[in-house]
Amino acid sequence: MDEKRSSDTSRTWALQDRSVQPLNRIRARAMRISPTEAERKLWWNLRHRLSSPSHFRRQVHLGHYIVDFASHGLKLIIEIDGGQHAAQTKQDAARTRFLENEGYRVLRFWNNEVLANIDGVLEVIQSAILATPTPTPPHKGEGKE
């Protein structure tokens, strides 16, 4: 194993400085460390009470946005909105448009809805999960030309 590399072949290394973390990644990590009461309650219920095989992640960085909960396999996003979202409907609409253009469905709930009616919220989420179409694999011999 004493192979020597020729000096004329240069190696291409990562062009991005990995010691510098994107601001949204830092924000998402901070938001995971200190969730709101509604986020904490929904997260516990998503992990322990949903009967379907779904894998949700918290505070996920998608594009320029950080979403509260995302299931990449189901292409489903759950957002929990606090009172500040009542005043920023245009920004929320643009955010939802972006996420839908990426192929995700977005479910939005108010904080007080999650805190006061978690069973109803879980029912809506479960319905959305069951409504998610799963791609059927091609039968033997299909799909090949």
Residue 32, domain CATH? 3.40.960.10
Q: Is residue 4 part of a domain?
A: no
Predicted confidence at residue 55, as pLDDT, reads: 86
Six-digit token pair at 103?
A: 């192929």
- How many domains are contained in the chain? 1
Q: Is residue 52 part of a domain?
A: yes
Contacts of 104 (CB under 8 A, 6+ apart): 62, 70, 75, 76, 77
Predicted confidence at residue 105, as pLDDT, reads: 94
Predicted confidence at residue 63, as pLDDT, reads: 86
- In the chain (145 residues long), the average pLDDT of successive 10-residue segments reads 56 61 63 79 88 80 89 92 70 90 94 94 92 60 56
Three-state DSSP class for 126?
helix
Contacts of 13 (CB under 8 A, 6+ apart): none
Q: Which of 78, 88, 134, 74 is nearest to 111 (CA)?
A: 78
Q: Is residue 142 part of a domain?
A: no
Predicted confidence at residue 67, as pLDDT, reads: 92
Q: Is residue 136 part of a domain?
A: no
Domain limits for position 112:
23-130
Beta strands in 3-115 (DSSP E): 57-62, 65-71, 76-81, 105-110
Q: Is residue 86 part of a domain?
A: yes
Predicted confidence at residue 64, as pLDDT, reads: 86
Predicted confidence at residue 31, as pLDDT, reads: 65
Predicted confidence at residue 28, as pLDDT, reads: 65
Predicted confidence at residue 120, as pLDDT, reads: 95
Q: Is residue 64 part of a domain?
A: yes
Q: Is the pTM of this model over 0.85?
A: no
Q: Which of 83, 77, 89 is nearest to 42 (CA)?
A: 77
Asked if residue 118 lies in contact with residue 89, where contact means CB atoms within 8 angstroms, the answer is no
Separation of alpha carbons 66 and 25, rounded Å:
9
Beta strands in the chain (DSSP E): 57-62, 65-71, 76-81, 105-110
Predicted confidence at residue 142, as pLDDT, reads: 59
Q: Is residue 120 part of a domain?
A: yes
Predicted confidence at residue 20, as pLDDT, reads: 58
Q: Is residue 137 part of a domain?
A: no
Instruction: State the alpha helices, DSSP H only, in 6-117.
Output: 23-33, 37-48, 89-101, 111-116
Predicted confidence at residue 18, as pLDDT, reads: 60
